[in-house]
Copies of this chain bind each other. A is one copy, B any other.
């Protein structure tokens, strides 16, 4: 007898299929059938909705502000948003994840307090040699990340070119990507100084103060260093179509290169939303005017690796500054990721269900080497489900589950609502509350799947 059977219309790897049942035993999907559901200890039938694989958010900053304890609320919010696995960035407060010891600490906290499963990025500190990389890989990290821009001297420092090459060379024999926060520091400082000097303010000014050229300059330099080392170079957020085309040139030349998009670049435009949102929509690199259509074309052309939230657990307080240049960057986004992307795809007349499963579940899982364990409703996979109901909602961050209680998406209408989330066969979100326990989430290690060979 199954522990759980979920029944209804499901998004399987081969497509959307009605009248499916999914049998779960010991947290794994052990059978998929259609027609009458077999016996199970627990049954759930989806009538007016859709069974998706649990979302894999490829870019979360759970611990940027509150440190490792931030994992609890961040994963709670994830679960409420249908995100069953999140890939956490290494820029933890006060110290980034750059050693095996810190990895062990973080894994310990995950096992203790996480509501969702977590995979982890590691980093290398300025001046640190590459000797920890092997132990971190053995410890299961799925990727490494560095930045070409210093957001914080300790937590989020700038890595200079010689060290970037050194890290690439250390990772080259592996499948593990080196991701980059891609902004040219000198250019951003210069443009920001100019904007400040001119007394500019607001979201359009912020966008101009970190121009696409600054992003592209850092991107090109990083890609070429990756190519020089024959390593996998990954750009964690590209905000322009040109960015994805440049990445594609490297792929065409036979190098391993990928680019990622965050959902807000598909939703907000500074010239349209800037006045209303101000610093509430400040992210780095910034949202760009008039770029949304071109970015969708990149998705349809297959040049976007996957789509993520870039969720940051910042309290709203750091946004209330007279000048936008003094406000913190980053937004909460885990709980809105799934309904937001689904809604945007649907509004464009695309097949929202299968595109969501592809860009938010399957592709990030493949990218981080955790497929087929995560990312698809298939035999042997973890029984992670995000169940949507066909019920529009107006987003209200007051009801969010991340302790932050603010969002740039407030008052936006989504066409669907996350009705239930299952993590490894266990009901974790019932549409009203997060109902699994802190510590029911766990640590996910990199597995065998390979983005470039599969």
Contact = CB atoms under 8 A, between A and B. Distances in A.
Copies of this protein in the assembly total: 4
A293 interface: no
A379 B220 CA distance: 45
A214 B165 CA distance: 9
A374 to B, nearest CB: 14
Nearest to A224: B220
Given A31-B32, A32-B379, A165 B224 contact: no
A160 interface: yes
Interface string A220-247: 1101110111000000000000100110
Contact of A223 (B30, B160, B163, B220): B220
A32 B35 contact: no
Contacts of A214: 161
A191 B13 CA distance: 48
Contact of A190 (B162, B190, B225): B162
A103 B256 CA distance: 47
A380 interface: yes
Contacts of A191: 162
Contacts of A249: 249, 253
B212 A186 contact: no
A13 to B, nearest CB: 6
Interface stretch (A17-25, A73-81, A268-276, A310-318): A17-25
A187 B165 contact: yes
Q: On chain A, which size bracket covers the interface? A: 35 or more
A392 interface: no
A224 B249 CA distance: 13
Most buried by B among A212, A216, A221: A221
A372 B161 CA distance: 43
Interface in A3-24: 12-14, 17, 20-21, 23
Contacts of A217: 161, 165, 221, 224-225, 228
B379 A20 contact: yes
A223 B186 CA distance: 17
B187 A213 contact: no
Interface string A172-203: 00000000000010110111000000000000
A302 interface: no
Given A32-B33, A220-B223, A186 B160 contact: yes
Contacts of A165: 187, 213, 217
Contacts of A14: 13, 372, 376, 378
A378 to B, nearest CB: 6
Given A20-B379, A191-B162, A34 B38 contact: no
A386 to B, nearest CB: 20
Contacts of A163: 190
Given A186-B160, A191-B162, A34 B379 contact: yes
Contacts of A32: 31-33, 379
Nearest to A212: B228
A123 interface: no
Contacts of A35: 25, 30
Nearest to A13: B14
A354 to B, nearest CB: 12
A184 B222 CA distance: 12
Given A13-B14, A228-B212, A34 B161 contact: no
A327 to B, nearest CB: 22
Interface of A: 12-14, 17, 20-21, 23, 25, 30-35, 38, 160-163, 165, 184, 186-187, 189-191, 211-214, 216-221, 223-225, 227-229, 242, 245-246, 249, 253, 372, 376, 378-380
11 contacts: A30-B34, A31-B32, A162-B186, A165-B213, A165-B217, A213-B224, A213-B228, A216-B225, A217-B225, A220-B223, A221-B221
